[in-house]
Amino acid sequence: MRIIFLVLVLLFLASLGYAQKNSIIPEPASCQFSESRYLYIDQIRFSCQPAQEILIQNFSNQLAGFGIKLGNIKKSGPKTANLILGIDTQKQIGLEAYSLTITPQQIQLTASSETGLFYGLQSLTQLAVSNSVASGFRVPHGTIQDNPRYVWRGLMLDESRHFFGKEKVKQLLDWMAFYKLNRFHWHLTDEPGWRIEIKKYPKLTSVGAIGNFHDPKAPAAFYTQADIKEIVHYAAERSIEVVPEIDMPGHAAAANRAYPEFSGGGSEKYPEFTFNPGKEHTYGFLTDILREVVQLFPSKYIHLGGDEVHFGNQQWNTNADVQSLMQKHQLKDLQAVEFYFINRMTDSIAALNKTMIGWDEIVTSGVPAEKCLTMWWRHDKPEQLQLALEKGYHTILCPRIPFYFDFVQHNSHRSGRYWAKEYAPIEKILAFNQTYAEPLTKYPNLIDGIQANIWTETIHSEERLDFMTFPRMAALAEVAWSKNNSPDYSTFLKKMQVSFRLYKEQKITFFDPVNPERTPELPGPKK
């Protein structure tokens, strides 16, 4: 009996040891840590090139945010430094890869770019938060060699349905960086509200930004161009690229409230849903908008939406402009009109030296594969993914199951979406690379990455945004970074205990799948 008890205690301690030493999420490609030896640091003496000092400053601020103080950080020579950052461009490693070595004397971090150094520091932060002690910073001796699985590790936030604002977005970016996610897709326009200032068309925000999904009269809420620049800069400091989405030709109702002269009408359920593809001025209007958008976002991509146009294009049948466009270009049906529009706007984007992204509807539009990137979202249409890949489209996978975070994550949850009986729990996210092993193996050079999308029809508050995002963001990162096709659920949850503690400290309203009763569902807005 005593032996069994002892074994159980040892097993428990071993599991704690694991959780402490390596609770890094996402799991590094390879790592070894000492079981018992640590490096303690009470003041960082760093050595790096001047351009990288900002990385050290941000690292120290990040640790302070987690309650780990390091005194005044100090620049030092390589002999006396205890944190040495080096860029080695000779090394044949990817731009996001890094190697980290922790010895009794120092921490040595090497990468081929500043992004790699940044990711090494994120791993170091994670080691520090799980191993530090009351007296200060402590990390285990050991090594990490690491690089990501996918180039595109994305998260999309819909701020048209509900607007969250700069501080919340910055917090999301902080956590994305912590988990090494690197693309923030910002869904800024849709039916309930237009959220980006366009100087040439001020009514887009003075009129179009009024309202949200559950309150059409909510005061105008939007980002000024100065706000956008601030967010883009904040993201870049965290190795995150911001990709804006200006949805067209559907989901255009907010813009149409502001400038009805460019509306192509809608349907009973989706009034004023489309831009008017038959009117030449519409293309000028939209290109003017994009001209301002490209100035704000250094990303090479601009997302043009292109989804669900059939929800509200019925009035094109009776619109004189659209009818004459159809005659002039021999467009046989409304879908041909939609594709004509998408092709023209893709060319407008190309003329602005950017590349268009579209939802998977564009795969049949005739837009040449080299001119765009597509996001496969309709999980019930695997044939659309197949078609995209056969036609050579670079593709991001974001199927609703398991990557739409407005779907519930537990079968006791009632607020949020289901697809028949399907929903989007952590287990399905962790199984993603296994579930899609076939296309991933067959088209490794076309599938650039994966992304989760937070649609916000049912997400009206910061707390509910947290509840739907955490901890699924961490699971997304695990499958976006790690090359292991089947990360173990219980190991992942064990590692998550450190994140759960941090969430609590930062007052993040997360869902704990191990203790669903302790983190009760936070419902969406009342209808």
Chain positions contacting ligand ACM, by CB under 6 A: 307-308, 359, 377
Q: Give the Cα separation of 464 and 511 in Å (integer).
A: 10
Question: To the nearest whole angstrom, how small is the minimum distance from the Cβ of residue 145 to ligand ACM?
Answer: 37
Question: To the nearest whole angstrom, how small is the minimum distance from the Cβ of residue 520 to ligand ACM?
Answer: 28
Query: Peptide bond preceding 298: is omega within 30 degrees of 0, i.e. cis?
Result: no
Taking the least distance from each CB to ligand ACM, the nearer of 27 and 307 is 307
SS3 of 329, please?
Answer: helix
418 φ, ψ (degrees, to nearest 5): -130, 155
Question: To the nearest whole angstrom, how small is the minimum distance from the Cβ of residue 317 to ligand ACM?
Answer: 23
Q: Give the Cα separation of 248 and 276 in Å (integer).
A: 10
HSE of 474 in the Cβ direction (CA atoms, 13 Å)? 28
Taking the least distance from each CB to ligand ACM, the nearer of 127 and 375 is 375
Length of the chain (residues): 527
Taking the least distance from each CB to ligand ACM, the nearer of 301 and 359 is 359
Q: Across-strand partners of 373? A: 357, 394
Tokens of residue 271, six digits: 């009034």
Taking the least distance from each CB to ligand ACM, the nearer of 377 and 500 is 377
Taking the least distance from each CB to ligand ACM, the nearer of 234 and 311 is 311
SS3 of 492, please?
Answer: helix
Question: To the nearest whole angstrom, how small is the minimum distance from the Cβ of residue 308 to ligand ACM?
Answer: 5
Taking the least distance from each CB to ligand ACM, the nearer of 308 and 448 is 308
Under 8 Å between Cβ of 22 and 476: no
Q: Which residue has the tokens 């067209």?
A: 248
> Nearest to residue 419, comparing CAs of 456, 388, 377, 461?
377
Question: To the nearest whole angstrom, how small is the minimum distance from the Cβ of residue 359 to ligand ACM?
Answer: 4
Query: Peptide bond preceding 249: is omega within 30 degrees of 0, i.e. cis?
Result: yes
Question: To the nearest whole angstrom, how small is the minimum distance from the Cβ of residue 270 to ligand ACM?
Answer: 12
Under 8 Å between Cβ of 431 and 136: no
Q: How far is CA 413 from the centre of its chain?
A: 24
Taking the least distance from each CB to ligand ACM, the nearer of 76 and 267 is 267
Question: To the nearest whole angstrom, how small is the minimum distance from the Cβ of residue 119 to ligand ACM?
Answer: 29
Under 8 Å between Cβ of 121 and 11: no
Question: To the nearest whole angstrom, how small is the minimum distance from the Cβ of residue 377 to ligand ACM?
Answer: 5
Question: To the nearest whole angstrom, how small is the minimum distance from the Cβ of residue 325 to ligand ACM?
Answer: 25
Query: Peptide bond preceding 26: is omega within 30 degrees of 0, i.e. cis?
Result: yes
> Nearest to residue 322, comparing CAs of 371, 387, 265?
265
Taking the least distance from each CB to ligand ACM, the nearer of 377 and 423 is 377
Taking the least distance from each CB to ligand ACM, the nearer of 188 and 331 is 188
Question: To the nearest whole angstrom, how small is the minimum distance from the Cβ of residue 43 to ligand ACM?
Answer: 50
Count CB-CB contacts under 10 A for residue 177. Answer: 23
Q: Which residue's Cβ lies closest to ligand ACM?
A: 307
Taking the least distance from each CB to ligand ACM, the nearer of 178 and 341 is 341
Question: To the nearest whole angstrom, how small is the minimum distance from the Cβ of residue 376 to ligand ACM?
Answer: 10
Taking the least distance from each CB to ligand ACM, the nearer of 114 and 406 is 406
Q: Give the Cα separation of 173 and 171 in Å (integer).
A: 5
DSSP string, 251-282: S-HHHHHH-GGGEEE--SSSTT-EE-TT-HHH
Taking the least distance from each CB to ligand ACM, the nearer of 228 and 454 is 454
Number of H helices, E strands in the chain: 18, 17
Question: To the nearest whole angstrom, how small is the minimum distance from the Cβ of residue 277 to ligand ACM?
Answer: 19
Q: Give the Cα separation of 153 and 433 in Å (integer).
A: 13
Q: Give the Cα separation of 423 and 404 in Å (integer).
A: 9
Q: Give the Cα separation of 128 and 40 in Å (integer).
A: 10
